[in-house]
Structure 1
Amino acid sequence: MKMSFNKSSGSRGWGQGAAAGGGGDELVLRGSISKKWTFLLCFGSFCIGLLFTNRMWTVPEPKEIIRRSTLEVEKMSLVDGDCAPKSAGDARDVPGEVPRTQDVIQTLDRTISNLEMELASAKATQESMLHGAAGAPVPEPTGKRKHFMVVGVNTAFSSRKRRDSVRATWMPQGEKRRTMEEEKGIVIRFVIGHSATPGGILDRAIDAEDRKHGDFMRLDHVEGYLELAAKTKAYFVAAVSTWDAEYYVKVDDDVHVNIATLGNTLARHRSKPRAYVGCMKSGPVLAQKHVLHKYANEDVSLGSWFIGLDVEHVDDRRLCCGTPPDCEWKAQAGNACVASFDWSCSGICKSADRIKEVHQRCGESENAIWNAEF
């Protein structure tokens, strides 16, 4: 390869030289460059150009890249959060929620029961105020007169419907009940103690109900299903101290009773100085001197208390007839039952709903009590 540079005479010299055969200002450079050097020069020029080009680009800082990546990850996690399946820990927490849910349900049930009792108390109070003197309780005579029998109907705070069903069937109300006490010497009362918190909602509901009907006998006893034996003992003690009667009867509020038939049955045993009349049960009873055992069943307790005493036990099956058709057949045969109930329930099953039917099919006539002579 040859290169030639021509320079005019007016320019500053790059160098001076003269050819051997001539003069003047012409400078001529001649030389040859190999292909290898040409390639290296081209490659070097390319690298230099590339270096300067990269420096002109805007390169983001590493912190910004990291921050952007973090935000993108968080956004993705938020989007996927609702669709992600529950972890194993969350799955293990599901059984633990069941007892808490049951506790909430039980709390709501108790709250509803309390509200129902408050409503019943307020309603009974309002009714007693509207009835005025007609709803006042019947005062007991100061001097004890001789009564024929005192019937205590064992009841509980939660048995308002049962009491109303008894009032609507075999238990006379109002003036009829007072006349029965005066003329026939028969006293009937619902027997109940007090709650664990005297003066509470339960006691106020009974007070309001008593102001309306005047048919309660209140005991100095704390109510409880496991305290029925103690309640039975408290009832007989209170009844004897309140009324002078020939017979003291205990019955439950889920049993149907024919009052006139009961009176006629007891009147046949008047000649006996001491008589314990009922449907007798049998079974082993542990005895200990000078101790009145209180068994879980109040009837067993009462029967055991009379063991060893000079008492004649009278087993009368008319005191434990079954519900229809049993008591109905006996009534049609002229052998009316004194009391009717279902053995499987130790009372009439669902008595608040069924006792009216039992009364219609097995009950004595409405005038039976007034025609009876004891």
Structure 2
Amino acid sequence: MAYVLGIGVTPVGRYPDRSFTELVAEAYDSAIKDAQLAEPDRIEGTWFANMLADFFGVRSMRGLRVLAPLVEDGLFPDGQRIVNVEAACASGSAAFNGAWSAIQSGADLTLAIGVEKMNPADGDGVELLDWMAGGLPDSYWDPYRALAAELGVTFEPGAGRSIAMDTYALLAQSHMRDYGTTVEQIAASAAKNHTNAVHNPRAQYRFPMTTEQVLADRVIAEPLTRSMAAPRGDGAGAALVCSERFLRQQPAAVRERALKIRGHSLAGGRIDASWQDQRSPVASASQTYAMAGVKPSDLDLVELHDATSFAEIHLVEDLGLCERGQGGPFTASGATQLGGDVAVNSSGGLVSRGHPIAATGIMMLNELALQLRGEAGENQLPDAGLAMAENGGGFIGTDVALTATTILERVA
């Protein structure tokens, strides 16, 4: 059995003048203090997640190059085994998977780090969006062109646009056609999450919104408005994962705050997948529920990958929180609000807490940890005991390329 021993994150924001190393140093120090770890040298391996450092000139050995200054200053263990990980928006969860897998294989203490910068000091970030969409053959987008033809619209990615928003917009139109989902229901998800973030000091956006305000915002890709999309954010997260053997050696105060990893899995996407198929999020969630021995109805809260608010609509279906096709009505009913049937994105989610790509998966786990430990402030849920994170990365065909799901449990 593996446990989250300590976890720490930076707030999400636009930090053009902060380096990757500075962001990682803050998150790592926070995780070490959270675990009350007196001997960081006992960490047996580090999995380092990043996606965009290449844009900033760090072309290889990213983890080693980002962490080297901390080693030189005596702030990070020397001689550390560092494994570089990249899985698009699921990079942080892929790093966590590496740390968790090592514990399953006999290690006692491992570390997962995720860090991202999306706001260059010179420029408005448009070049970054173009860089992210580059390097793929034009045929990669043929499944979206085929879907667009079915819907009677066009799909042509272009310079200065976010390819992620264009793909999510097309998937939203598909779900609206198949199930009658409405833009008002998508807006209800966005309004909920913006309002949830008001009391989250780690969130990039901290202002409430109504459904009407979300709908009135600027359209970025029909039917999505700006308020339904995650902003470009910078930040880092770090999580220490330990074995039961290691946990037993820790002081009572540390053992009481550790969180059991009841279930965890990764699942890959299918090139030709419909809403009815065993798509990547469905497969990962099914595996994790089986490992944990729990049902969706057992969950107290969920942090999921709402890179757009439409994603939350289909993901509450994929995770089994409601029936297929009912994500819109389920969300609009208030079932996913604080105090609803199951709180979804009580942190504000990606659309409001922010989405620094490779850090997001670990930031989700941090939000779960705060709730399970009773440390979530004004957003605290009563007696939260079991929680799931879902983090998706990339596209393959019309499916999510890689989905990670994790179930954490309060043990004290």
Q: What TM-score comes out, normalization by structure 1 length?
A: 0.29
Asked which structure has the greater CA Rg, the reply is: 1
- Give the strand-richer structure, 1 or 2: 2
Q: What TM-score comes out, normalization by structure 2 length?
A: 0.27
- Give the helix-richer structure, 1 or 2: 1
Larger relative CO (CA 8 A, sep 6+): 1 or 2? 2
